[in-house]
């Protein structure tokens, strides 16, 4: 077995890591020890993990290392470490949902997505930090250390999959499972300079749990490369009996799609989100420089955008009632979640909101009859500082959230696939990113396009400087 630099291994893409394991160039136990050492040293300052599963990860890695000696036909990610989000159940491990009220909640089952991750050969390093109940686009739940952006520790890594993105960006995990109910994969991926996929509704099973949010939330991957995220989406995809939403398997795997050219695409773009407003200068720059690159690559690009204004009210009604359905006593929650719970609606108003969201969603999806892809900002302004809004009233915080994350929820409402992809860095050293939304069930189109952009402007060569934190 050859010696490979531990720092380089920590930032090695997951697929390359799997190949190193299969070729016996590195062992699963060596990989786990590298990440556990980095987690022990860096996590107290970054706050990416709530629970580190050191004992379980080492035991799993030892078994896999021994198995590797004579193994054949290994699963695709045999021996590769991964992190999972603390909104998802891993049997025997606390699942807090970002609230101290559930600190002793230890599920006896794996979520379907987690079971598939285990079946693919991954070794789970731990449960990553999330905002309380997954409600916020920053990760600062009461009773836990705040998650920080590895590129600049004064800033948020986003939320609610903030810990997942911070872990991957800091080299505390090669790849991560996240979830997205209003931008919770795309926002953290954007804040941390990573590639994130919000899959189509029905692509990834929500089982065995029920759906309290009318299909707006889904599990998905966060990775350093398009191929890594595509391959993890392959792992998590698929339905189980009784799922409320269902999609057939794609014609080819998402990993195969990442190796294919996208062909000529019709792409709409906008830097505005009416009636909220226009993106700030940095986010607007990210979109416009991507427009130029897309044109240089031969795509047809024109400024155009659906009308999203009708989604805002019904989406908020569905979201706040989903928060209330969690069943946590209000006095045990942060002020914004308490405020949201105080505004819960009647069953009649909720069902009216669902119907309205479905009607507006049909109108938005029809926009894609004339376009393959929509390019937008991920958020309307750059990342906030950790604690920046903590002095504000719940009403003002909620309004600030709406003003920030507005471009993300529409894809959750319609169930369309959407991705966040890095495009450079701003003057504060923070990553810049853009969002692409695709036609229903057309993740492969987005993945092909993302891979083309990744080749044209590679981002994986950059790493945050963590030497002095």
Q: How far apart are the C-alpha atoms of 72 and 111, rounded to whole Å?
A: 28
With vertex at residue 429, the alpha carbon angle to CA 467 and CA 285, rounded to the nearest 5 degrees, is 160
Q: pLDDT tens per residue, the chain (469 residues)?
A: 456 799 999 999 999 999 999 999 999 999 999 999 999 999 999 999 999 999 999 999 999 999 998 888 999 999 999 999 999 999 999 999 999 999 999 999 999 999 999 999 999 999 999 999 999 999 999 999 999 999 999 999 999 999 999 999 999 999 999 999 999 999 999 999 999 999 999 999 999 988 888 999 999 999 999 999 999 999 999 999 999 999 999 999 999 999 999 999 999 999 999 889 999 999 999 999 999 999 999 999 999 999 999 999 999 999 999 989 988 999 999 999 999 999 989 999 999 999 999 999 999 999 999 999 999 999 999 999 999 999 999 999 999 999 999 999 999 999 999 999 999 999 999 999 999 999 999 999 999 999 999 999 999 989 999 977 8
Q: Active-site residue among 27, 48, 64, 85? A: 85
- What does the block give as tokens for 233? 């989406």
Q: Active-site residue among 131, 184, 200, 444? A: 184
Question: Taken in order 20, 23, 28, 30, is the CA torsion positive or negative?
Answer: negative
Residue 57: exposure state from Cβ atoms within 10 A (0-12, 13-18, ≥19): buried
- How many Cα atoms within 13 Å fall on the side-chain side of residue 109? 6
Based on the residue annotation, tell me whether 100 is a catalytic residue of this protein: no
In contact, 345 and 353? CB cutoff 8 Å:
yes
- What does the block give as tokens for 103? 């600190």
Token look-up 């090695």 returns 12
β-strands 431-438, 373-376 pairing: antiparallel
**3-state percent breakdown (helix, strand, coil) of the chain, nearest 5:** 40, 15, 45
DSSP H or E run through 1: none
Based on the residue annotation, tell me whether 85 is a catalytic residue of this protein: yes
Distances (CA, A) of 80 to 42, 59, 97, 265, 459: 20, 14, 25, 35, 22
Q: How far apart are the C-alpha atoms of 165 and 221, rounded to whole Å?
A: 10
- What does the block give as tokens for 204? 């990834």
Token look-up 């990760």 returns 139
Q: Active-site residue among 83, 135, 147, 160? A: 160
What pLDDT does residue 92 have? 98
What pLDDT does residue 1 have? 47
Based on the residue annotation, tell me whether 205 is a catalytic residue of this protein: no
What pLDDT does residue 3 have? 64
With vertex at residue 336, the alpha carbon angle to CA 332 and CA 341, rounded to the nearest 5 degrees, is 70
Pick the closest to residue 388 from 378, 407, 401, 402 (CA basis).
401
Q: How far apart are the C-alpha atoms of 170 and 132, rounded to whole Å?
A: 22
């Amino acid at each position: 077995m050859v010696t490979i630099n531990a720092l380089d291994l920590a930032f090695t893409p997951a697929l390359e890591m799997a190949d190193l394991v299969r070729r016996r160039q590195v062992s699963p136990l060596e990989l786990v020890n590298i990440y556990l050492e980095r987690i022990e040293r860096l996590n107290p300052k970054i706050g990416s993990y709530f629970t580190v599963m050191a004992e379980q990860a080492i035991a799993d890695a030892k078994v896999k290392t021994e198995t590797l000696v004579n193994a054949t036909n290994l699963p695709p990610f045999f021996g590769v470490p991964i992190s999972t989000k603390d909104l998802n159940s891993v049997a025997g491990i606390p699942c807090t949902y970002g609230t101290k009220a559930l600190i002793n909640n230890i599920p006896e089952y794996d979520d379907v997505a987690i079971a598939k991750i285990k079946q693919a050969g991954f070794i789970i390093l731990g449960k990553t930090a999330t905002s309380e109940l997954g409600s916020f686009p920053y990760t600062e739940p009461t009773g836990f250390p705040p998650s920080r952006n590895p590129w600049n520790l004064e800033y948020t890594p986003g939320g609610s999959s903030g810990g997942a993105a911070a872990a991957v960006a800091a080299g505390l995990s090669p790849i991560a499972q996240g979830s997205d109910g209003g931008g919770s994969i795309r926002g953290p991926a954007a804040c941390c300079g990573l590639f994130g996929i919000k899959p189509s509704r029905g692509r990834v099973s929500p089982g065995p749990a029920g759906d309290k949010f009318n299909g707006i939330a889904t599990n998905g991957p966060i990775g350093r490369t398009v191929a890594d995220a595509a391959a993890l989406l392959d792992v998590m995809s698929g339905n189980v009996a009784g799922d409320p939403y269902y999609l057939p398997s794609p014609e080819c795997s998402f990993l195969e799609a990442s190796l294919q050219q996208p062909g000529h695409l019709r792409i709409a773009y906008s830097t505005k989100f009416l009636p909220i407003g226009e993106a700030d200068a940095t986010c607007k720059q990210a979109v416009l420089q991507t427009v130029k690159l897309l044109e240089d690559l031969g795509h047809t690009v024109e400024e155009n955008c659906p009308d999203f204004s009708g989604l805002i009210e019904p989406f908020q009604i569905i979201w706040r009632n989903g928060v209330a359905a969690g069943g946590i006593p209000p006095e045990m929650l942060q002020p914004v979640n308490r405020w949201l719970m105080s505004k819960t609606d009647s069953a009649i108003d909720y069902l009216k909101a669902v119907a309205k969201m479905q009607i507006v969603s049909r109108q938005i999806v029809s926009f894609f009859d004339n376009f393959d892809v929509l390019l937008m900002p991920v958020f309307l302004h750059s990342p906030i500082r950790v604690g920046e809004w903590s002095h504000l009233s719940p009403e003002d915080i909620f309004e600030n959230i709406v003003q920030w994350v507005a471009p993300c929820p529409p894809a959750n409402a319609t169930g369309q696939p959407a991705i966040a992809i890095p495009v450079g860095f701003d003057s504060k050293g923070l990553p810049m990113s853009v969002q692409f939304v695709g036609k229903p069930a057309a993740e492969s189109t987005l993945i092909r396009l993302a891979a083309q952009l990744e080749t044209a402007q590679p981002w994986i060569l950059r790493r945050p400087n963590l030497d002095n934190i």
